[in-house]
Amino acid sequence: MEFYTLNNTIQLPCVGLGTWQITDRDRMAVLIRRAYEEGYRLIDTAAAYSNEIAIAKAIAAAGIGRKELLLSDKVWNTSRGYEAVQEACRKSLKKLKTDYLDIYLMHWPASKKLHPDWARINAETWRGMEKLCKDGYVRAIGVCNFKVHHLEELEKSAEIMPCINQFELHPGFHQDDLVLYCQEKGILVEASSPLGNGQILKHEGICGIAGRHDKSAAQICLRWSLQKGAAVIPKTADPDRLAQNIDVFDFSLSSEEMKELDDIPYCGGVGIDSDEVTEFG
């Protein structure tokens, strides 16, 4: 496994396991055990995924020591603000049966559509996350789905810069301006839905490049994000796909292939606009 170094020196695996929409406890137990055997050391979850307890049980059943894995969790939109985010984190820690998180992310910025004072709300939530960091409940804090204007506003009052911005990134949705902005600020880009939520894997252009490299379409998408300097957290509920999704370090895409993938029009993904997101997602 290769690693990125976050702005607070934590080593983040380039590939982690996404767990959105996996709630079945037996399935989670099989997945986490196999993921660990295959070399995964980063698990991405969120309070909103309703699977923190399943993850804790799976880790315990597999006998994996707490320090062997990085746990990345997210505060949901209904727990915004200085006190509420700290309370939400304590609940998540209890469910995950741990006394610290490696990474804690704000799941969505307060949206402009719902909150005229979105910048103040984000700043207050962030202040609560900084307190969690200072108190030792979390090792690193970051954001998800922040656009440039959200980051610019946050920076005005932040004492700690976000270590990560996790947002939708895949062929067909390159978000180059945001990637560049984050990289200039030392914020690691983490690609959510790196396979376009599974909807882009039959795209002719992606499949063509996959054929030339004797790789799968999923591996091409993951490699594309890695070559842009992003970490990836592909989700699979199929244990047999885990090995494939981590086997992305023995080939590279040419600049022509990267350009071809950049130029694909949007053809699938989650597609939620963070300036319009509701408190329910």
Ligand X SMILES: NC(=O)c1ccc[n+]([C@@H]2O[C@H](COP(=O)([O-])OP(=O)(O)OC[C@H]3O[C@@H](n4cnc5c(N)ncnc54)[C@H](OP(=O)(O)O)[C@@H]3O)[C@@H](O)[C@H]2O)c1
Write out the residues near ligand X by the rule CB under 6 A: 18-20, 44, 107, 144-145, 166, 192-198, 201, 216, 218, 233-238, 241, 244-245, 270
Residue 64 CB, nearest distance to ligand X (Å)? 19
**Nearest residue to ligand X on Cβ basis:** 18
49 among known catalytic residues: yes
Q: Which of 225, 144, 231, 245 is nearest to 190 (CA)?
A: 231
Tell me the Cα Rg of the chain.
18
Closest distance to ligand X from the beta carbon of 198 (Å):
3
Residue 193, number of CB atoms within 10 A of its CB: 26
Query: In the numeric block, which tokens belong to residue 88?
Result: 């939400």
- Least Å distance, CB 18 to ligand X, is 2
Residue 216: name the closest of 193, 189, 186, 195 by CA: 195
How far is the C-alpha of 281 from the C-alpha of 277, rounded, in Å? Answer: 6
Q: How far is the CB of 7 from ligand X (least distance, A)?
A: 19
* Shortest distance (Å) from residue 63 CB to ligand X: 24
Nearer to ligand X, 44 or 257 (CB): 44
Q: DSSP string spanning 82-122?
A: HHHHHHHHHHHHHHHT-S-EEEEEESSPPPTTT-TTHHHHH
Nearest CA to 236 out of 276, 192, 274, 198 is that of: 198
Catalytic residue (choose from 4, 49, 104, 181): 49
Q: Which is nearer to ligand X, 86 or 216 (CB)?
A: 216
- Indicate the residue among 135 and 250 with the shorter CB distance to ligand X: 250
- The CA distance from 236 to 125, in Å, is 31
Q: Which residues contact 194 (CB under 8 A, 6 or more apart)?
A: 169, 170, 221, 222, 225, 230, 232, 233, 234
Which amino acid is residue 122, in one-letter code?
A: N
The strand pairing partners of 192, in sequence order, are 168
User: Toward ligand X, which CB reaches closer, 13 or 159?
Assistant: 13
- Kindly tell me which of 218 and 230 has the beta carbon lying closer to ligand X: 218
Residues taking part in catalysis: 49
